[in-house]
């Protein structure tokens, strides 16, 4: 495996994804808590950072375990650190260097640069430049503006790259990473979905033995894949609980329950609509809604889990981006919304936790799901927030509003599917606004509700843009909604990006 030491760059996860795309396993660790470099570790990568090496409080890693002993690659900050620390000089650039550049010199005899074509485009993003290298270092690539775009340390398996090989716009970044990871570090490319399934199932069998495990299914990709994986390992010692909180999409509860049963999972469906809607009555504040839903979920789940004899473990569909201990540069990031709806569940239930997906990225979860034969329809589902329609009904929640929104949402989502637009969109949904507007139907004046359609493109939900859905499609959906759903007389389309807006309205 490869160990990536994180100095807080926005691109660190991207490095890990590129390594995984080469079917090589890697882990991200914060620079200040370096894991033991056992035999399994074949090489180390130092990430970029928002810091400058010249900053007083710049992150300083302890390289003693591996520098000169294992292959080492510094990227951006990592490269500057390797230069400055060993006697080189790093200065602010005259002009900050961001964006595309082309390599005007490449030492192709160097292992790292094998196969990189002349004028190869690279992506720069830094405010500092290496102006002098330590004595035993030599330049292996330059651009017109940056003479040290890449260097090697002679007599040592150590390299530095001033540009970011992991980003899409570094056209030959993949070649460079391949050279490093496969040719230089000698990693074998055997990290595939099938090998993951085989080794994880074996590990789970070992770890869980004959113990009983309970898992909350949500209908989403992560919990479904976790459920199927655990079922492969321990069969019916896994009990799944799927709660209907009354805030799911139209027919969702029954459809999803059916498909779980079809997959052979031992699943208990719990109709808890009333518990949730009663507690939510009269509540308008979004964060309060989230807290109530989180709390009621834990109560309902706990109540059901108590009925199973001798449960020892709680399984969760946590994935890698949720667990990476990110290096925080500007203090802990502000809580914009409390997304972790069911935090506190394991403590309350006094169970041990098992998280079979906690080393996978989202796209890997999908590939693992596919390798296990889960249907593409299930794996391709849009993300859906835990609190469901509760945060898409602005203001207080009533059964009637939920029904209206379910109908509208169904017309929109089904329309996307019927017009082959569903897979073009990362997430779609509808907001029911606390606004009434005047309309006219036949000879009658109406005073009814407004809904806002939202469809976004994104890769991880952190940033998003609205999708330019065809006008004809929007016209047809709008018409269908107003004609078919009683209580709605106006449809608008949300054309805000995130940031500065968010995907949900609450």
Q: Which is nearer to ligand XMP, 299 or 504 (CB)?
A: 504
Of the listed pieces 18-26, 386-394, 407-415, 489-497, which binds ligand XMP according to CB under 6 A?
A: 386-394
For every residue of 370-426, which 3-state class applies, written as one string? HHCCCCHHHHCCCCCCCCHHHHCECCCCCHHHHHHHHHHHHHHHHHHHHCCCHHHCC
Q: Does 291 bind ligand XMP (CB under 6 A)?
A: no
Determine if 321 is a binding residue for ligand XMP (CB under 6 A). Answer: no
Give pairs for 131-139: CB < 8 Å, separation 24+: 131/89, 131/90, 131/91, 132/83, 132/88, 132/89, 133/83, 133/88, 134/83, 134/86, 134/87, 134/88, 135/87, 137/83, 137/86, 137/88, 139/105, 139/107
Burial of 404 (0-12, 13-18, 19+ CB in 10 A): buried
Considering the candidates 97, 152, 166, 407, report the single residue annotated as catalytic: 166
Place of tokens 């009983």: 212
Cα–Cα distance measured from residue 77 to residue 51, given in angstroms and rounded to the nearest whole number? 8
Least Å from the CB of residue 500 to ligand XMP: 11
17: contact with ligand XMP by CB under 6 A: no
CA separation for the pair 74, 83 (Å, rounded):
10
Specify the residue for token string 């005073």. 447
**Taking the complex as a whole, how short is the minimal distance between the CB of residue 282 and ligand XMP, in angstroms?**
20
322 in a labelled binding site:
no
Report the residue from 337, 362, 370, 476 that binds ligand XMP according to the rule CB under 6 A.
337
Q: Record the tokens describing residue 15, joined without a space.
A: 């490095």
Binding segment for ligand XMP among 78-86, 250-258, 381-389, 446-454 (CB under 6 A)? 381-389
Is 220 a binder of ligand XMP (CB under 6 A)?
no
**Position among 385, 401, 405, 411 found at the interface with ligand XMP (CB under 6 A):** 385
- The residue range among 164-172, 242-250, 470-478, 497-505 that interacts with ligand XMP, by the rule CB under 6 A, is 497-505
Residues 427-466 that bind ligand XMP (CB under 6 A): 427, 461
Catalytic choice (26, 76, 185, 240):
76
H/E element holding 225?
A: helix 221-234
Q: How far is the CB of 247 from ligand XMP (least distance, A)?
A: 11
76 is catalytic: yes
Beta strand 43-46 with 444-457 is: unpaired
Q: Which two tokens stand for residue 272?
A: 């808890």
Dist. CA 295–CA 387, nearest whole Å:
11
270's tokens: 């719990």
Q: Provide, rounded to whole angstroms, the least separation between the CB of residue 466 and ligand XMP.
A: 12
Q: Is 222 annotated as a binding residue?
A: yes
Q: Does residue 288 belong to the site contacting ligand XMP (CB under 6 A)? A: no
Query: According to CB under 6 A, which residues from 88 to 127 bind ligand XMP?
Result: none
Interaction residues for ligand XMP, span 240-279 (CB under 6 A): none
Is residue 468 flagged as an active site residue? no
Q: Give, in order, the Cα–Cα distances in Å from 342 to each of 58, 186, 235, 460, 506.
A: 36, 42, 25, 20, 18
Smallest distance from the beta carbon of 279 to ligand XMP, in angstroms?
16
* Residue 375: CB minimum distance to ligand XMP, A: 22
The enclosing H or E element of 304 equals: helix 286-306
Residue 221 annotated as lining a ligand binding site: yes
Question: How many chain residues bind ligand XMP (CB under 6 A)?
Answer: 15
382 catalytic per annotation: no
Q: Residue 206 or 335: which CB sits closer to ligand XMP?
A: 335
Among 58, 48, 2, 54, which Cα is nearest to 28's?
2
Choose the catalytic residue: 97, 126, 152, 164.
164
**Interface positions with ligand XMP (CB under 6 A):** 290, 337, 339, 341, 383, 385-387, 391, 427, 461, 498, 502-504
Binding residues: 218-224
Active site residues: 76, 164, 166
């Amino acid at each position: 495996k490869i160990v990536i030491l994180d100095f807080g760059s926005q691109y660190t996860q991207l490095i890990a994804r590129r390594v995984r795309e080469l079917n090589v396993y890697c882990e991200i660790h914060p620079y200040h808590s370096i894991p033991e470099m056992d035999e399994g570790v074949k090489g180390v990568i130092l990430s970029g950072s928002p810091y400058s090496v010249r900053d007083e409080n710049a992150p300083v890693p302890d390289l003693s375990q591996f520098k000169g002993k294992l292959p080492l690659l510094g990227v951006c900050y990592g490269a500057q650190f390797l230069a400055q620390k060993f006697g080189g000089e790093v200065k602010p650039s005259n002009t900050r260097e961001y964006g595309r550049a082309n390599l005007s010199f490449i030492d192709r005899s160097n292992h790292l640069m094998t196969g990189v074509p002349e004028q190869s485009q690279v992506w720069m993003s830094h405010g500092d430049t290496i102006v002098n290298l330590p004595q035993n270092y030599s330049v292996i690539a330059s651009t017109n503006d940056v003479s040290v775009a890449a260097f090697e340390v002679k007599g040592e398996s150590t390299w530095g790259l001033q540009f970011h090989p992991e980003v899409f716009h570094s056209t030959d970044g993949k070649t460079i990473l391949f050279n490093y990871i496969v040719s230089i570090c000698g990693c074998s490319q055997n990290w595939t979905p099938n090998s993951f399934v085989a080794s994880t199932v074996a590990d789970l069998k070992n770890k869980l033995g004959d113990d009983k495990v309970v898992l909350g299914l949500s209908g989403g990709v992560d919990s479904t894949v976790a459920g199927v994986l655990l079922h492969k390992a321990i069969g019916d010692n896994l009990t799944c609980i799927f709660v209907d909180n009354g805030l799911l999409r139209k027919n969702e509860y029954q459809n999803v329950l059916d498909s779980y049963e079809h997959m052979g999972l031992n699943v208990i469906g719990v109709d808890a609509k009333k518990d949730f809607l009663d507690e939510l009555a009269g509540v308008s504040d979004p964060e309060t809604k989230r807290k109530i839903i989180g709390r009621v979920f834990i109560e309902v789940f706990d109540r059901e889990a108590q009925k199973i004899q001798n449960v020892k473990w709680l399984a969760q569909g946590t994935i890698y981006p949720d667990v990476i201990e990110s290096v925080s540069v500007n203090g802990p990031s502000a809580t914009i919304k409390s997304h972790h709806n069911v935090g506190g569940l394991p403590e309350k239930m006094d169970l041990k936790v098992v998280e079979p997906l906690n080393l996978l990225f989202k796209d890997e979860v999908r590939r693992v799901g596919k390798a296990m034969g889960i249907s593409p329809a299930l794996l391709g589902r849009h993300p859906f927030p835990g609190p469901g329609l509760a945060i898409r009904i602005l203001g207080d929640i009533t059964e009637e509003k939920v029904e209206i929104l379910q109908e509208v949402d169904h017309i929109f989502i089904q329309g996307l599917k019927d017009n082959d637009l569903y897979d073009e969109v990362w997430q779609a949904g509808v907001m029911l606004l606390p606004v009434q507007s005047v309309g006219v139907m036949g000879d009658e004046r109406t005073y009814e509700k407004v809904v806002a359609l939202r469809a976004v493109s994104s890769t991880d939900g952190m940033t998003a843009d609205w999708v330019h859905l065809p006008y004809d499609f929007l016209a047809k959906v709008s018409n269908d909604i107003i004609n078919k759903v009683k209580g709605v007389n106006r449809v608008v389309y949300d054309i805000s990006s995130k940031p500065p807006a968010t995907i949900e309205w609450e």
